[in-house]
Structure 1
């Protein structure tokens, strides 16, 4: 679930819970007008992003800036896109480290190792921040980056997994729409009914979105052990995932094709069911081009009902070199406030807050989302984000490569798992040899 300059709208998803004390004394009681800080010297905070280009977009920036001007008019944010010269590494190399970084939680451990982040708990406490406003899972996912339970920042947006489906294809073949609470076997049966060739067009019933990777996550299994950096894929649970994924792609007419699953679903409209992350705004645009879609709950394993995989948590963190740590903490708290998160949710961005008001507002100001079954998204919860090896991404790529060979009939599942194990261990050995 894992790895995405950060969109302004996604950041804005974070909600300021004044009633819970997030806004401190300045926020006052719920319903009272927020008093801006005055008579402060103007400052400009540099904000960089990594892997969150779709989050910190113009929409996100506009929402954050609007609320920032009201409460902290002396603070201006300069948003640095993730491009040549403004990447985090480039800024550090130039001796101009950013004050704030928005990234996904999987990057935090590397920042810790570079001594770029620090425990912001004291700053959040000083500003009256209430961590109880967040879903506990998301705060824990941030804290997991530290072996001491330190808090390097606050969640401002989250990924989720959902089932998107093309209603026109279901109607064309007379198949009932997906229902919430489906398990993988039920979804597989539905996919078989929808995989057909009609009028010279091949329709695919189902694509899991990321082959074996997202399918494995609800079982809380990994390709590589973060403590030993050794492959741990030759197991019964991984065997089950390989076999289930193969059964999806082995449906006649449902195998790999050159067109990406997203394009099949949103452009050529030949894919009936796509399992993916939060792509609501992309789907809203595709609807203008004729896509008739809706959303349902992500499928579950019977022993793990109402559970999907890793929900990458997008986090705003303060950097250790910053000269404005108190102001940085105030800005991050604002980004994750209920007011900001509510505005982001209304645009279709999923918030890390527990607030039912924020959840109920999801997509309410986007006409293309008003009649969709968005509450289905909240019927499942993510597994805890794993403490991962630094070689996780490359190890998973190696696993996918061997899976495709297995899918093409080159070997049986036991051989595939054994070959994956060997490939991952050789990969890590080679990577360590470069250091």
Structure 2
């Protein structure tokens, strides 16, 4: 570059301009050269941007959870996943023969995540599917105090050491659903919150009628004696001893109470599903069941005029119903993508996702008042229903898990049916059930 030099002040001005432009050029060159190691105000080198996570597909298996993992659930979860963890894709394997949990395990495929109810967790220990996830939750910053304490205890009771095999993502509750048209038809008052079993049984008698050739049943307690027994903290088998002890005053009380319901003329046991009788044929006045709000919303479109009230209680156990059946998501012990699996659990149990699911009509395990109050808010078919009644009762603590519980309860229910049908008396039914359960356990232990 040639600089024109003239006399006097003009020369000095041109020289200054030239030097200024040269210095600016050096500055700009340094800025454009990619020099990013300039220390910050504290003299520290800036951290490089985090590496982009590799895409991963997590295989999700379930057992007894198909009603939870429906299309609505998947859509909500996947929309949030795409925003927070776009590298994670969840592949939900349906509970069909080919992709059931047992089928996957038989094929040597270990899923990354499993969703099941807490009653199944104990059996997974023998299959080497579970481990204590508490350290993983702590590392991920998951605060267990956000959950209802009882649901955390229910999960811990699946382990003999109080370990956390997974986290609750959804909760089954017990509620009383009633057909308003049947009560109107027979001039009876609707069920109310705070009723005890005896009051509800008396009310059921008023709406158990034969009308124009159609038998209307007043009440079905659901699951025969099992749900009715749980608030009294009695079980078909003692998980600590693996023994049945059924000849007790509490079991006698439950058997008598349940029989008094089925003994109402016209209200006997039926071969049809009580839920179908309530929602389809519309000939059942009161159904005691779990959270079936989504199904009821659909039935409402087909003409079912329904509402909900608080689950009935025992007088000495007010505002208490049976086991909550907490649905748990866990990262398998030998899964290949444990870190990403924990991220999925963290996301699904977050306030934002649980709020979105609550608005759809799903009961959340979180304590959050905002989440509870939002129950059913996005479903127009749930408007004007007494949904707050659901929260007036809480579940009894889930018993310590026993791998023999399911078979033991099956034996007990069969003996109760014999008692109701008059084949055996109460004492004989309980004695035979106790004997058969203990024999079953002894046989199972030899396998």
TM-score w.r.t. the length of structure 2 is 0.87
Structure 1, 155-164 or 319-328: larger mean CA deviation = 319-328
CA deviation map 1:218-244 (0-9, x unaligned)? 111011111222211111000000000
| Separation in 2, partners of 1:148, 1:407 | 40
CA distance in 2, matches of 1:388, 1:101: 18
Counterparts of 2:272 and 2:133, CA distance in 1:
45
Deviation at 1:315, TM superposition (A): 0.5
Choose the corresponding residue for 1:64, options 64, 77, 98. Answer: 77
Deviation at 1:123, TM superposition (A): 1.6
Alpha-carbon distance in structure 2 between the residues aligned to 1:237 and 1:86: 42
Structure 1: runs of 5+ lacking an equivalent: 1-36
2:423 to 399, 404, 410: 410
Q: Report the CA distance between 1:357 and its aligned residue.
A: 0.5
**Contact 2:225–2:413, Cα closer than 8 Å, also in 1:** yes
Q: Distance in 2 between matches of 1:82 and 1:188?
A: 38
2:243 pairs with 1:223: no
In the TM superposition, 1:255-334 aligns within 5 A as 255-334=268-347
**Structure 1 segment 63-212 matched on structure 2, within 5 A:** 63-212=76-225
> Deviation digits for residues 315-355 of structure 1, max 9, x if unmatched?
11001112222211111011111111111111111100001
The answer (yes or no) to whether the contact 1:135–1:353 under 8 Å persists in 2 is yes
Secondary structure, aligned partner of 1:163: strand
Report the 3-state secondary structure (helix = DSSP H, G, I; strand = E; otherwise coil) of the residue aligned with 2:228.
helix
Q: Hey, what does 1:244 align to over in structure 2?
A: 257
Describe the superposition over 1:108-164 as per-residue Cα deviations: whole angstroms up to 9, x where unpaired: 111122221112112211121111110000111111112222211111001010000
Where 1:317 maps in the other structure, the secondary structure is: strand
Distance 1:124 1:266 in 2: 41
Contact 2:122 2:401 survives alignment (8 Å):
no
Answering whether residue 405 of structure 2 is matched by residue 392 of structure 1, we say yes
SS in 1 for 2:288: strand
Aligned partners of 1:117 and 1:319 also within 8 Å: yes
**SS state at 1:310 partner:** coil
Query: 2:33 aligned with 1:40, yes or no?
Result: no
Question: For 1:432 and 1:127, how far apart are their aligned partners in 2?
Answer: 39
Native 8 Å contact 1:48 1:87 kept in 2: yes
The alpha carbon displacement at 1:49 in A equals: 0.8
Across the two proteins, how many residue pairs are aligned to each other?
399
1:165, 1:274 within 8 Å by CA — same for their partners in 2? yes
Matched-pair contact (CA < 8 Å) for 1:345–1:362: yes
Runs of 4+ in 1 over 6 A off after TM superposition: none
More divergent stretch after superposition (161-170 vs 400-409): 400-409
1:377 to 390, 396, 421: 390
SS in 2 for 1:46: strand
Query: What secondary structure does 1:77 align onto?
Result: strand
Bigger relative CO (Cα 8 Å, ≥ 6 apart): 1
Q: 1:70, CA displacement in angstroms?
A: 0.5
Q: C-alpha deviations, 1:81-131, integer Å up to 9, x for none?
A: 112232222222322201111111111111122221112112211121111
Residue 411 of structure 1: how far off its partner (Å):
2.7
**Counterpart residue number, 2:43:** none
- SS in structure 2 opposite 1:76? strand
Separation (CA, whole Å) in 2 of partners of 1:38 and 1:363: 40
Give the Cα separation in 1 of the matches to 2:315 and 2:278.
27
> Secondary structure, in 3 states, of the residue corresponding to 1:103?
strand
Displacement of 1:38 in angstroms is 6.7
Provide the C-alpha distance between the structure 2 equivalents of 1:38 and 1:159, rounded to a whole number of angstroms: 40
CA deviations 1:248-270 (Å, max 9, x no partner) are 00011110123221111011111
What is the alpha-carbon distance in structure 1 between the residues aligned to residue 366 and residue 278 of structure 2?
A: 30
